[in-house]
Chain A
Amino acid sequence: MSGLRVVSIGPSVTVQDQGRPGFVASGLSRGGAVDLLALSEGAALLGQCADLATLEMAGFGGVFKAERDLRIALTGAAMQASLDGAPLRWNASHAVPMGAELRIGAASSGGYGYLHLGGGVDAPMVMGARSTDLNSQIGRRVADGDLLPVGPDVGGPVGCVLDGASRDDGGTIRMVRSFQTPLFAKDELARFEATVFHRDMRGNRMGVRLKPQGAGFQAEGGLTVLSEIIMIGDVQMTGDGAPFVLLPEAQTTGGYPRIGTILPCDLPKLVQAPPDADLRFTFITLEEALDAERAFKAQLADLPRQIAPLIRAPGDVPDLLTYQLISGVARGDEEH
């Protein structure tokens, strides 16, 4: 077995894929990558299926050594990355020859970066998925010395870029009303939509807390309600009135009132928001939400057509000839 050796690793790096849906009735969360757009972008860059497993790196990556020739792609929150000391572009695919050292550092935004391998991370399949679920003790964090096995790579071009959908600057997050929204008074809902929030950096894969500018939010009728089903993207109000957005590894049911549900297609923007970016929420109708979800599906399907050859300054490439042979896409006539 050969693959990618972990020399040293950041504090919270896990293997993730699309998750493990279908077990809500048994109390098992779906899990899977918190930024599903980043999974599809990585798959498009490598010309492979978005169901393959990848490395999700919360805030910080690690140092890796290739124990065979590999193709990689880097997506999600941009992190400092280099290959044998030469800087690597984010939102791009690269060839990593056997023996090369890959370094991935911090994400300035504090968000989630993704390291995709051609052929995917061949972690054990548990209940239909390779996702690590720390909360349910399926798998564990990636550790120093691990060898990440790589699945069979269909092969394809490297040295490609994808201008990923911008999601590192906060902005307006769209929500729909959900079954507990009526627990909040109209003026409380209006104040919620008028408030600016910032992401609390202490979040994890279960959820992220948001800090409101101003007072917190309360449901009428007290602190807790009958424990009820949780949807990924639900925004619950805990005791201090600060919203807590429930992410893929959240528990399946909960007793804190929830003001609404963030559209799945807007979750990447929320989880990747830097701590100083302004976040606002707006309620849209279900019809508008379904239109947005439909457009998002189309956007994902179109990603492979948005791949473009990486244009580099010749000085960045130690051996241009080798690079061209590996990449197969450099035509020699790129603009610099």
Chain B
Amino acid sequence: MSTTTPQTWPQIRNAGVDGMLVSFADALSEPSNRAALAFRERIEREGWDGVLETSSTLASAFVRFDPFVLPHVELRMRLEALLTEVNWFNAAPPNERRFWRIPAAFGGELAPQLGGAAEAAGMTVAEAVTSLSSARVRVTTLGFAAGQPYLGELPEAWNLPRQSGLTPKVPVGALVVAIRQFVLFATSAPTGWQHVAQTAFTCFRPDSETPFALRAGDEVQFTPITREELEAIRTRDTSGDGGATVEPIR
């Protein structure tokens, strides 16, 4: 057996030949996500030669580097030093975060799985809309598709399993829910998560000066609108924001 060693966190591990991963947990939790976000920002602030890019995932900070400029041993030592600075699980969230309010049409023909998701969560449809639209969630990571956010953490009632049967395709801007998280679809794709609302928000805008609308650490609330209001937003919006408002978090 190779997993008999008890695991302690955080852990620094190699990723391929030119990556290093600082993991704060092996399961999603609010403190480990916060630690990952804050630690990634801390690495960025160092501006080390040889670091090619950094990133954060649900529970890890990641560094891709040139091992011929910054050897593995050296990078590991520097990361270990940063880890001892503070208790990263209690670290303040990164700077330059923003709070987005994104209009979303819940249920109906545009988001046909709201009823089923509400039932699975033990709520009426009205309760489900209230619960989902009042949650202020954080972008825990971007992944799977360019600019596509995972948002959490939703109340325990939304700890729904992924469906074994995939929905063949949800459109861009679809808001789906499972395992106490939202995903706001950046692309049209199949999913095993439940499609509970539809937005006019475009997460990835390759021709724009800011191709990625959201950043990890940003906070989002989905404000309920009618289907007619969504159609009206679609007609007039050319920015991709889909009627969203944004303000800095201080």
Interface residues of A (CB under 8 A from B): 21-29, 126-127, 133, 135-138, 176-179, 182-186, 220-221, 225-229, 231-234, 251-254, 261, 263-264, 286, 289-290, 293-294
Contacts and interface: CB of A to CB of B under 8 A. Distances in A.
B204 interface: yes
Contacts of A286: 14, 17, 72
Interface stretch (B100-108, B120-128, B129-137, B140-148): B140-148
A138 B55 CA distance: 22
B19 interface: yes
A284 to B, nearest CB: 10
B53 to A, nearest CB: 5
Interface stretch (B62-70, B193-201, B237-245): B62-70
Nearest to A179: B13
B204 A136 contact: yes
Contacts, number: 137
A127 B206 contact: yes
A186 B21 CA distance: 23
Given A137-B187, A253-B57, A290 B17 contact: yes
A21 B19 CA distance: 14
B166 interface: no
17 contacts: A23-B212, A25-B40, A26-B142, A26-B211, A27-B143, A27-B144, A127-B206, A136-B146, A176-B16, A184-B2, A227-B143, A228-B58, A229-B15, A229-B21, A252-B144, A254-B144, A293-B67
A201 B14 CA distance: 31
Interface string B88-132: 000000000000000000000000000000000000000000000
A263 B17 CA distance: 7
Nearest to A219: B3
Interface in B189-244: 204, 206-207, 211-212, 215-216
Given A135-B145, A229-B57, A234 B3 contact: no
B207 A27 contact: no
Given A24-B55, A137-B206, A226-B27, A231 B147 contact: no
B154 interface: no
Interface of B: 1-3, 13-19, 21, 23, 25-28, 40, 52-60, 62, 64, 67-68, 72, 141-148, 186-187, 204, 206-207, 211-212, 215-216
Contacts of A264: 17-18
A221 B64 contact: no
A25 B59 contact: no
Consensus secondary structure, chain B interface: loop
Given A27-B186, A176-B16, A136 B206 contact: yes
Contacts of B141: 227, 253
Given A27-B147, A225-B26, A226-B28, A185 B57 contact: no
A25 B15 contact: no
B143 A21 contact: no
A62 B55 CA distance: 40
A227 B15 contact: no
Contact of A251 (B40, B58, B144, B211): B144
Given A136-B145, A137-B187, A25 B216 contact: yes
A229 B64 CA distance: 11
Contact of A229 (B28, B55, B148): B55
B143 A251 contact: yes
Contacts of B1: 185, 220
Q: 5 smallest A-B Cβ distances: which pairs?
A: A231-B16, A253-B143, A261-B16, A179-B13, A25-B55
B147 A26 contact: yes
A135 B23 CA distance: 28
A209 to B, nearest CB: 18
Contacts of A261: 15-17
Contacts of B204: 28, 136
Given A27-B142, A226-B27, A294 B68 contact: yes
A235 B2 CA distance: 19
Contacts of A253: 57, 141, 143-144
A234 B21 CA distance: 14
Nearest to A28: B146
B52 to A, nearest CB: 7
Nearest to A232: B16
Nearest to A25: B55
A227 to B, nearest CB: 6
Contact of B206 (A126, A229, A252, A293): A126
Contacts of A293: 17, 67
Contacts of A135: 145, 187
Contacts of B215: 26
B61 to A, nearest CB: 10
B15 A179 contact: yes
Nearest to B148: A27
Nearest to B187: A137
A25 B56 contact: yes
A226 B146 CA distance: 19
Contacts of A221: 3
Given A24-B55, A227-B143, A228-B23, 15 more contacts: A23-B212, A25-B40, A26-B146, A26-B211, A28-B212, A178-B14, A178-B15, A186-B2, A226-B28, A227-B57, A229-B62, A251-B144, A251-B145, A264-B17, A294-B68
